Structure 1
Amino acid sequence: MTVATGVAGQPVAHSLSPLIHGAWIRATGLDAVYDRYDPPDVEGFRALIERGRRGELRGLNVTAPFKAEALAMADTATATARICGSANLLLFVDGRITADSTDGTGLMAALAEQAPDLDVRNQTVVVLGAGGAARAAVAALMAAGAGVSVLNRTRARAEGLVAELGATVAGPAALEQAILVVNALSVAPDIDLSVLRDDAVLMDMTYRPLTTPFLVAGRARGLTVVDGLAMLIGQARPSFRALFDMEPPAVDVRCLALAALDEVA
């Protein structure tokens, strides 16, 4: 029987997750599919999840705007998902739903791949934004031993996030001290890169476009940069393990994704 999995979001047509997981599925010879699901609203998403509960799906990756609802609908959740306040992975077993978040794992994998000399332990890290992506970044970086400060245009939102996770609101000197700045906003941040340390690393969590203005400016400043595609692949690996109970095969999915993005490495 073909195993049904996929990614759910709105919009989801742009997602590269089916390309990545599809390549791994073909390489392993699994009798499985990984499709896109685009419920129009929360009610449609809930109906999709009920299909999983009935055994029609083994699992789903979840993207915006349904990550919080994914956590709310689960019967059980990992500590990581609870800390993040959202889930990007749902597993359906015997009518029960387990929620997890692999976003933080993806972020740390991307840093290890593209900034291998970076050590955030006992270092100042600044996360730009205070939404769901920022929460995942803050949680992962704090778990790695960083001192995380959150910088957001609306200070009240930053204060709410740090109060829950134990980080701090970024003060005037945070950027000057930061060894890493992570953009968790969906737009280019308005910050002065000239104040950053010469050994600072910049990361952008988005991958469309792959080379964002934020990363372009960082490269021009001579800084190491980390792109969102590395994070996407990094979070897909533990998702594949959970969905199919095996390691992803050795396939150059980044090359495939770059071709789909019409980008150069």
Structure 2
Amino acid sequence: MKKRKIWRLGLIGYPLDHSYSPLLHQTALVDAGLTGTYTLYSLPDPQQIAPLLEKLRTGELDGLNVTIPYKKEVTRYLDGLTTSAHAIGAVNTIFWKGGMLIGDNTDAPGFGQDLEHSFRGYSHSGNHALVLGAGGAACSVVYALLIQGWAVTLAARRVSQAMLLSESFNYPNLHTTHWEAVSNPSFLKKFSLLVNTTPVGMAPLIDQNPLAADITLPAGMLVYDLIYNPQKTRLLQLAEKNNAKAINGLGMLLQQAVLSFEIWTGKKVSVEKMRQVLEKKLESEEER
């Protein structure tokens, strides 16, 4: 009788105290009918990365996710990058294929898929998006929007950071603006989609908002906040108050996890089952 494979998966980053990845991937393993573990590898020292990746080369591990602060750092230890990982310059999924350690980025397609799913059937005018922030999360979001055909304007408190991101992609329909512009309602009217990639409003600082609390958003605007804890940020509350369509980042988190799991195992799993488990977990935490 053939011995049942035990999948050994995990996450590299630091710190990892509040990661939901084990919950998501254990749910995925059960849904796929597989046996395995998903371990958090909290690495305070970057020099700990190489020995752990060696376990992928030897078959001791089957796949790894990567989160902050190592999404860029890890690329120098890999043998190759997928097209999206190379374009974004960051990796969140590592796998072994053809004798090579490959880095992929499922954040971008995860966001793109959830954006299409969340706003399917929702009428909006134009395809001009305003992205708040120019950090690592913004890189994935901007890439996903550009390949979907959106014109994108970046607004960041550090204009130099936004310009560097824009130059790295070198797309004619990618522009930057100064942060103060987002306080102007007439400026916001140019956009049919607003995406917040900053951590402003994330727990425990849930009373913060990247926009002024009294600003008027265009009715019918699509507002996507990558934050999912809390599930309804001050920005999303403002969006609903202005009759805009509001979506949090829970779907992106789920979609990128599902894509990573499929890369490792070849198995497609139910996003909805993972959503139910995570929403229950988040609701219990918000009630505390």
TM-score of the alignment, normalized to the shorter chain, above 0.5? yes
- 1:224 corresponds in structure 2 to 245
Of 186, 208, 211, the match for 2:232: 211
Q: Do 2:211 and 2:235's aligned partners in 1 also have CA atoms closer than 8 Å?
A: no
Tell me: CA distance 1:119–1:63, structure 2 relative to 1, closer, same or farther (3 Å): farther
Gaps of 5+ in 1: none
Contact 2:126 2:191 in 1 (8 A): no
Deviation track 1:178-197 (CA, whole Å, cap 9, x = no partner) reads 11111111114533474432
User: Does residue 1:175 correspond to 2:188, yes or no?
Assistant: yes
Look up the equivalent residue of 2:193 and give its one-letter code: L
- Flag the 1:249–1:115 CA change in 2: closer, same or farther, 3 A: closer
Give the Å deviation of 1:161: 0.8
Q: How does 1:42-57 map to 2 (within 5 A)?
A: 42-57=46-61
Change (3 A) 1:174 1:104: farther
Deviation >6 Å, runs of 4+:
none
In structure 1, the residue corresponding to 2:189 is in which secondary structure?
helix
- Which shifted more, 151-160 or 246-255? 246-255
CA distance in 1, matches of 2:211, 2:266: 43
The CA deviation at 1:208 is 2.1
* 1:3 matched to 2:7: yes
Q: CA RMSD in A?
A: 2.2
Shift of residue 174, structure 1, vs aligned partner = 4.8
Q: How does 1:36-185 map to 2 (within 5 A)?
A: 36-93=40-97, 96-118=100-122, 123-165=127-169, 166=171, 167-170=174-177, 172=181, 174-185=187-198
1: CA distance between counterparts of 2:54 and 2:232?
Answer: 38
- After TM superposition, the structure 1 stretch with the greater mean CA deviation from structure 2, 230-239 or 86-95, is 86-95
Letter matched to residue 109 of structure 1: Q
Query: What CA distance in whole angstroms lies between the structure 2 residues aligned with 1:250 and 1:108?
Result: 15
SS at match of 1:225: strand
Please give the alpha-carbon distance, in whole angstroms, between the structure 1 residues aligned to 2:129 and 2:271: 32
- Write the distance in 1 (CA, Å) between the matches of 2:143 and 2:176: 14
Matches within 5 A, 1:30-41: 30-41=34-45
**What is the CA distance between 1:119 and its match in structure 2?**
7.5
Q: Deviations over 1:2-38 (max 9, x none)?
A: 1211222212231212111111211222122222221
Contact 1:122 1:147 survives alignment (8 Å): no
What is the SS of the residue equivalent to 1:252? Answer: helix
Which protein shows a greater Rg? 2
Deviation at 1:212, TM superposition (A): 1.6
1:190 and 2:194 correspond: no
The structure 2 residue matched to 1:236, chosen from 257, 261, 265, is 257
Structure 2 residue runs without a partner (length 5+): 202-208
1:255 aligns with: 276
Point out the more displaced range, 70-79 or 140-149: 70-79
Q: Does the aligned pair in 1 maintain the 2:133–2:156 contact within 8 Å?
A: yes
Residues 188-212 of structure 1, C-alpha deviations (whole Å, 9 max, x = no match): 4533474432111111112222222
Separation in 2, partners of 1:56, 1:212: 41
Q: TM-score, normalised by structure 1?
A: 0.91
Matched, 1:18 2:29: no
Q: Is the 8 A contact 2:124 2:221 kept in 1?
A: no
Q: Give the letter aligned to residue 257 of structure 1.
A: L
Deviations 1:106-156 (A, max 9, x none): 112222232223578961101111111001100000000000010000111
